[in-house]
Structure 1
Amino acid sequence: MEKGTKVALLAIMVNLLLFVIKYFFSSLSGSIALKADAFHSLSDVVASSTVFIGIIIAKRKTRAFPYGLYKVENLASVAVALAILFAGYEIAREAISGTTAELQNVEATIACVLCAIGVAFVYAVYAAKVGREIGSPSLVADAKHIGVDVLAGGAVLAGLLGSFAGFDLDRITAFIVVAIIAWSGGKIFIDGIRVLLDASLDYQTLNQAEKLIMAEPRVTAINHLTGRNSGRYKFIEANIVLKEHELEKAAFIANRITANISEKIKNVDRVLIYYEPIMKKTLVYAFPLMDDQGQMISDHFGEAPCFAMVTIRIKDRKIIKQEILTNPFTHVGHGKGILVAEFLIRHSVDAVITREHFAGKGPFYVFSNAAVDTYKTKEDTVTQALAQLGIHDE
């Protein structure tokens, strides 16, 4: 049995215990307020049972419901919210129309109320903590619901203590509790309805997803990004533009983005990435050079003082632009190959031609992750290497 299910089952037991204790002492003391609070706890049993059933059903997937029954949890949280609001109504009605009676066994009843408040408070804190950990909206809602018992118990306690001084505080405290109940229940109700109506994910989650997508070097734009909750789980969809004209590589990049989002954002059930490869008209080739004056290809990638960046037109394989980039990492002691690879990717390189073998080395993995092609040449100059690839000046 998973943690969330255990906590939901514990809620049923806690509420049953509170109902028995409160009802017994309400009969012993003659307190109408405590009796009403006892039936409030009984309504909590129903609400907690709804949460328990909701968590179990929510995990099921069938042919009729291939996306799962996650929203059952949100239905449960809406039911809890309605129970909270009904409890507020009962307390308000009791405060307006209840009659004052001489209380009996006040000391024992106060001890009972203090015990009930303590049990409800400890469970509410624990359930809220677990609910946030596992991302369960119904558990968080149930924790808030039982937390209402603390407030209602406080109102009853105030009335009992006031009876010693001859003051009737039940009605005043009851209206304060009703206001808090209305706020708490209303918020849970609205949150649950938002999910049931497929409202968008919160800004923080969407912003995190956007950053994870744009961290992929080959992504040039996000045309559309949206998401929705279903129970504790999230569904995210994005339409992106990739700086890649080969569909196989574009699919590989999209799958990597999907895996990254699923790993970094909690409780993601599904990520759908729609990608549009850029139909590029040009390609950029990079060559490590011995110096910035000639065309001699360096035997060392990371230590090369500069790089020749050659832009070619795809349709006729003609060179349309050449420039020299200075290597800013020649002074770095270790890991300069990886740093240089990332530097070239930032300059939109499509392919790297070297005399050095990359397989199994850091730069190879950097270029592979960015879908940058790498070629090994035996030629000494850039012109010779380009000619070997069938590329010539205009």
Structure 2
Amino acid sequence: MPGSGRVRRLTVWTIVIGVAIFALKALAWWLTGSVALFSDAMESIVNVVASVAAWYAIRLSYTPADDNHPYGHHKAEYLSAVLEGVLIVVAALLIMREAALAFQASELHAMPVLGLVINGIAGIGNAIWAYVLIKVGREARSPALIADGRHLWTDVVTSAGVIVGLILALATGWLWLDPLMAIVVALNILYHGWKMVSASVQGLMDTSVDPQDLVEIEKLVAANCKGAIEFHDLKTREAGRARFIEFHLVVPSDMSVEAAHRICDRIEEAFRRDMSDAKVTIHVEPEYKAKHG
């Protein structure tokens, strides 16, 4: 799993790259006067602001647990992702306003082809960086990094749509295609913003781990609980990159506390080895508490 240093460096580079991409897209808009390219540049402003929020949230999430936050600060990343989703919605509404005004006076400046080329270069840069962020974000189990990468990927799709729409407008002379494409872009941004907010809110609500991870957790406990009778009432929740796991471990009634403790130690050591982001709580129970024959 990538260390905190690498994740933090990525968030800093995301801000730097975001500013550079915005500059390219702003130049493309200035050269063309296209409201669709304006919408693309507007989303890049959101990218920069969201990247700053992600940088701060990830930095906060790696702060060690303290007296006021005994379970750590992992959920800070979800707050960043929620903020990013809200900013996307605001940007989409502003784009729709500009597009509505542009329907009344659609026009393009003298250098639309150069503007399209510059915007295309910016889109390629975003695509490469989005791939890096999503890949590392999944490895590091970082909701903020994944949200940032997915947002950049929607920006790539946006840029591609804008370029196609603008090429059609230039080829046909139907300049109303430019603001129409801006509205399509805004609707796409709204959709992805809603998905991002929904996913982050689920994280804040202590959603359980996904079914595949749950199967791995059950296998890990079963493989390391030799000497116990059974385990049951397994509960899990996720908080950023951390996973909290708790369950009841039933042992023979005549087993000593020391022997039961050794079993717990073995299980916890297995989690530290194979699932280092897991925080495990085990409640030991006597034999008569068994739920299975």
TM beyond 0.5? yes
Pair 1:138 & 2:144 matched: yes
SS of the counterpart of 1:63?
Answer: coil
Match among 79, 86, 107 for residue 83 of structure 2: 79
More helix by share: 2
> AA paired with 2:226?
P
Range 84-93 or range 19-28, more displaced? 84-93
More strand by share: 1
Pair 1:128 & 2:137 matched: no
How do 1:74-223 and structure 2 match up within 5 A? Answer: 74-99=78-103, 100-165=106-171, 166-168=173-175, 169-215=177-223, 216-223=225-232
1:172–1:31 CA distance, 2 compared to 1 (3 A)? closer
Write out per-residue CA displacement over residues 258-306 of structure 1, whole angstroms, 9 at most, x where no aligned residue. Answer: 12123223522x1111111437xxxxxxxxxxxxxxxxxxxxxxxxxxx
> AA paired with 2:251?
L
How much is the aligned-residue C-alpha RMSD, in angstroms? Answer: 2.1
TM-aligned CA deviation for residue 26 of structure 1: 1.6
> AA paired with 1:57?
L
Work out the percentage of aligned pairs sharing the same amino acid: 30
Aligned equivalents of 1:93, 1:263: Cα separation in 2: 54
TM-aligned CA deviation for residue 11 of structure 1: 1.0
SS of the counterpart of 1:2?
Answer: helix
Q: Is the 8 A contact 2:248 2:282 kept in 1?
A: yes
Aligned residues: 279
> TM-score if structure 1 supplies the norm length?
0.66
Q: Is the 8 A contact 1:246 1:277 kept in 2?
A: no
> AA paired with 2:149?
A
Aligned equivalents of 1:217, 1:239: Cα separation in 2: 14
Aligned equivalents of 1:227, 1:160: Cα separation in 2: 49
TM-aligned CA deviation for residue 231 of structure 1: 1.4
Mind listing any 5+ residue stretches in structure 1 that lack a counterpart? 280-394
Q: Which residue of 1 aligns with 2:237?
A: 228
Q: Is the 8 A contact 1:74 1:196 kept in 2?
A: yes
TM-aligned CA deviation for residue 160 of structure 1: 2.3
Higher relative contact order (CA 8 A, sep 6+): 2
> AA paired with 1:91?
I
TM-aligned CA deviation for residue 146 of structure 1: 1.1
Bigger radius of gyration? 1
Pair 1:252 & 2:262 matched: yes
Aligned equivalents of 2:266, 2:248: Cα separation in 1: 15
Mind listing any 5+ residue stretches in structure 2 that lack a counterpart? 289-293
Pair 1:9 & 2:7 matched: no
Aligned equivalents of 1:238, 1:133: Cα separation in 2: 26
Pair 1:68 & 2:78 matched: no
1:187–1:30 CA distance, 2 compared to 1 (3 A)? closer
